[in-house]
A = this chain, B = another copy of it.
Amino acid sequence: MPVLRNIGCLATCRAEGPQGELHPVRDAAVAWRGDRIEWVGAERDLPQAFRGEDGLDAGGALVVPGLVDSHTHLAFGGWRAGEFEQRIAGAGYLEIARRGGGIAATVASTRAASDEELLARCRAHLAGMRSLGVTTVECKSGYGLDLDTEIRLLRIYRRLAEEGPTRIVATLLGAHVVGPEFRDRRAEYVELVIGEMIPRAAVEGLARFCDVFVEESAFTVEEARRILRAGQAAGLGAKLHADQLTAGGGAELAGEVGAVSADHLERISEAGIAALAAAGTVAGSLPLASLYLNQSPLPARRLLEAGVAVAVATDFNPGSAPSWHLPLALTLACTLQRMTPAEALKGATIVAARSVGLEAEVGSVEPGKRADLAVIDAPDPNHWLYHFRPNACRRTIAAGRVVHEAVDA
């Protein structure tokens, strides 16, 4: 029964209270059995039963819940570094898409990649993420855009979930954009998503959520409503990419269908904010995408003031957010979105867990939750997100096992 002792500051990140309330415990300890936390508190109160157990020493550092990256497009072939330069030279996201770059380029590379190649790439990304303290990752399909490849991507996520130790939440994003073979037959593509992708994903138990990119260049609100309702009827929770490049009513739709999250929201309207607040939908902020696209970020302060919980995720993908560095996303949430470090941290733990339907399992340090912990070389969350370093995470524990130890320089 291992115990992590000598925790200078334990940010438990329990759900209650405002997003800036981390419910910290000073001079704390955490004890677990198997993969479940059994006890959390001040070390001086550690029950006799846990004394003398396997001790891990946190060295007086900050300990946070294993981080939850609630929005990634993990599995894809190829990269698109050339577009990075094109965007700097002034080409817009939509313009690059119209030129045949963008998502279409990644779809071609992804279809051409073998399962083993995609698996190897995903494993490397997940290992990098674990080294930063990330122990739960939401993974979207969406670079297949045909039935076989979308299902293949979801099966890759199932295999990664079985392998562990990162906890994987799979989301079907067949409705990322209209598949290239269907460019002039978009209604048929919508039917393919509804009539074939969703049923297959549901029957095989391959996805927990169904997501739609609501955007001029992707799907209309009406199409998204049909797809999300079909997903819900098949048992898949609803998620949306909404209001990223244009305010298109995506947030309003998220509220209407009771989506668990609506992500991006750089252009969200006041009506959209009200809809999310009324529905209890989490707003998923993706500050790396805002940075890479040099866009104004979502209005995090207005969302928080309206009572909307704001998750912070990487959006890791080969176009607009080619980095899985979640702590960088948190620092950017502070600097660009004016979230406090505490709000940002809760946005990548308990709020992120809620936005992937796992708030009972992960995202906070409480008895009964999975023993996912990250030991951070900082006295508190403020210092961690302020003094940005390549990697401030000294040790990661997932499901009760040490899965990363920093090597001293």
**A interface residues (Cβ-Cβ under 8 A, vs B):** 79-82, 84-85, 88-89, 127-128, 131-132, 291-292, 294, 322-323, 325, 328, 332, 334-336, 338-341, 380, 382-383, 385-391, 407, 409
The answer to whether A325 touches B387, judged by C-beta atoms less than 8 angstroms apart, is: no
10 contacts between A and B (CB under 8 A): A81-B380, A81-B387, A82-B382, A84-B341, A85-B341, A88-B335, A128-B409, A291-B336, A322-B388, A391-B391
Contact A390:B391 (CB < 8 A) given known A88-B340, A334-B88: yes
Cα–Cα, bound, A291→B388 (Å): 12
From residue A296, how far is it (CB to closest CB) to chain B in Å? 11
Residue of B89, B332, B389, B391 touching A340 (CB-CB under 8 A): B89
Report Cα–Cα, A132/B340, bound state, in Å.
28
Contacts of A341 in B (CB 8 A): 84-85
With a cutoff of 8 Å between Cβ atoms, the chain B residues found around residue A127 in the complex are 409
The answer to whether A85 touches B387 (Cβ under 8 A) is no
A263 to B76, CA, bound (A): 40
From B88, B322, B388, A339 is in contact (CB under 8 Å) with: B88
**Residue of B325, B388, B409 touching A389 (CB-CB under 8 A):** B325
This chain: copies in complex? 2
Q: A322-B386, A325-B388 are in contact. List 12 more A-B contacts (CB 8 A).
A: A79-B386, A79-B387, A81-B383, A84-B385, A85-B340, A88-B334, A88-B338, A89-B340, A128-B390, A294-B336, A322-B387, A322-B388
- Chain B min CB distance to A346 (Å): 14
A340–B391 Cα distance when bound, in Å, is 26
Closest chain-B Cβ to A71's Cβ sits at a distance in Å of: 17
Q: Once bound together, how far apart are the Cα atoms of A340 and B387, in whole Å?
A: 26
A323: chain B residues at CB < 8 Å are 387-389
| 6 A-B pairs with least C-beta separation | A84-B386, A323-B388, A81-B383, A390-B390, A81-B382, A390-B391
Please give, as numbers and ranges, the residues of chain B lying within 8 Å of A128 by CB-CB distance.
389-390, 409
Q: Which residues of B contact A79 (CB under 8 A)?
A: 383, 386-387
- Distance (whole angstroms) from the CB of A49 to the closest CB of chain B: 36
- Measured between beta carbons, the chain B residues less than 8 angstroms from A325 are 388-390
Complex: A388 Cα to B409 Cα, angstroms: 21
Which residue of B has the minimal Cβ distance to A124?
A: B409
Residue of B nearest to A90 (CB): B338
Given the complex, which residues of B lie within 8 Å of A387, measured CB to CB?
79, 81, 322-323
B386 near A335 (CB under 8 angstroms)? no
Interface centre among A89, A291, A332 (most CB of B within 10 A): A291
